[in-house]
Amino acid sequence: MTDASPQAPRRPGEQVLTALGLGAPDLDPADASPHAFPGGGRWRTEIPSCEGPEALAVVLKEASRLDVPIHRISQGSGVWMLTDAEITEMVEATGERDIELCLFTGPRGTWDIGGSVRTDSHGAGLRARGHDAVAGCVEDAVRATELGVRCLLVADEGVLWTLHRARAAGLLPADTTLKVSALAGPVNPASFAVCERLGADSVNVPSDLTLAHVTEIRRVSAAPMDMYIEAPDDLGGYVRMYEVAELIRRGAPLYLKFGLAKAPGIYPYGHQLRELTLATAKERVRRGRLALDLLARHGADGEMAPLGSRLPGELRRFEISS
């Protein structure tokens, strides 16, 4: 990661509040992240929950209409919910625009027959239960990369370590990136650092982390961080648009994820959810435009990473024994 010394942007309502004697305390320079993406830039964008070629076409069209730059488009239902033809179509469409395509891997605990995730404690969560679930995730990873996908979403630390080892051994393409899902995101610096060392190239942290929590993470890891600027309801429904500039200042390198609250869940996607999926895909792009407009209004939109950039830079890993 390269060092960066960003200028503080204007904070919301700053001039009026200062004139009224209600100005906020000065920002602490020690809170600023010293990290950036390789090649420059402190933030990238992501449109999540793009469930198939038709939704992807809607996202690309709306992004062009609203002039929303996109670095990554991700899908949440899983590789196994797409045909080879659908994956190929998505790879080609994103490749033409130099956008990274990220697909979710395999079975997860919320969908299988295990009962613990349905108890009050939600035990086991999204983890891959047993050898066969891990094998399904690996199968998805192999199939997706053979079809040209170069970013895989993971929700289990064992799967993450397995895919990282496979990548290191040449069993997956060396330029494959691994992204930890928001559904399993770490909530403290130690767990974030463990994700990095297990092979994560970007880590989605929960959207309820405070600004102080973000700073704490940045003091131990330079791995790219992903955060929903607007989180789906099942992840809390938080809307943090006015905090984007400060999230970038503290959390860079940061992926701004434009999710959508007050919308029904669409995983696992099927054509019975077609109209809802297309409508929400379009609105996620519009939410992105709103967040980017706020960044511009506050003078904090000048540090975006170049479009087409996708690699995370040099990260720290656990040693892989032979």
Q: Is the pLDDT of residue 100 over 80?
A: yes
Q: Which residue has the higher pLDDT, 32 or 106?
A: 32
| pLDDT of the residue at 107 | 82
| pLDDT of the residue at 71 | 98
Q: What is the per-residue pLDDT across 242-264, written as a single tens digit (0 to 9) for each?
A: 999 999 999 999 999 999 999 98
Long-range contacts of 184-188 (CB under 8 A, 24+ apart): 184/125, 184/126, 184/127, 184/154, 184/155, 184/156, 184/157, 187/213, 188/213, 188/216, 188/217
CA dist 190 and 145 (Å) reads 30
Q: What is the per-residue pLDDT across 117-150, written as a single tens digit (0 to 9) for each?
A: 666 656 556 788 899 999 999 999 999 999 999 9
| pLDDT of the residue at 4 | 47
**In DSSP terms, which residues pair with 204 in a beta bridge?**
226
pTM score of the predicted model: 0.92
Task: Using pLDDT thresholds of 50, 70 and 90, give the confidence band for residue 26.
Answer: confident
| pLDDT of the residue at 128 | 86
CA dist 180 and 182 (Å) reads 7
Q: Which of 314, 48, 77, 52 is nearest to 204 (CA)?
A: 48
Task: Using pLDDT thresholds of 50, 70 and 90, give the confidence band for residue 108.
Answer: confident
Q: What is the per-residue pLDDT across 154-204, written as a single tens digit (0 to 9) for each?
A: 999 999 999 999 999 999 999 999 999 988 889 999 999 999 999 999 999
239-272 as b/e: b if 16+ CB within 10 A: bbbebbbbbbbbbbbbbbbbbbbebeebbebeee
CA dist 241 and 275 (Å) reads 27
Q: What is the per-residue pLDDT across 270-317, written as a single tens digit (0 to 9) for each?
A: 899 999 999 999 999 999 999 999 999 998 899 999 999 999 999 999
CA dist 140 and 104 (Å) reads 8
| pLDDT of the residue at 24 | 85
Strand locations in 48-130, DSSP E? 72-74, 100-104
Q: Is the pLDDT of residue 18 over 70?
A: yes
Average pLDDT in the chain:
92
Q: What angle do CA 71, 193, 191 make, to 5 degrees?
A: 105
Domains and CATH numbers, the chain: 42-297 (3.20.20.70)
68-83 as b/e: b if 16+ CB within 10 A: bebbbbbbbbbbbbbe
Task: Using pLDDT thresholds of 50, 70 and 90, give the confidence band for residue 11.
Answer: confident
Strand locations in 115-224, DSSP E? 151-154, 177-180, 202-204
Q: What is the per-residue pLDDT across 199-228, written as a single tens digit (0 to 9) for each?
A: 999 999 999 999 999 999 999 999 999 999
Q: What is the per-residue pLDDT across 50-87, written as a single tens digit (0 to 9) for each?
A: 999 999 999 999 999 999 999 999 999 999 999 999 99
User: 188 near 216, Cβ under 8 Å?
Assistant: yes
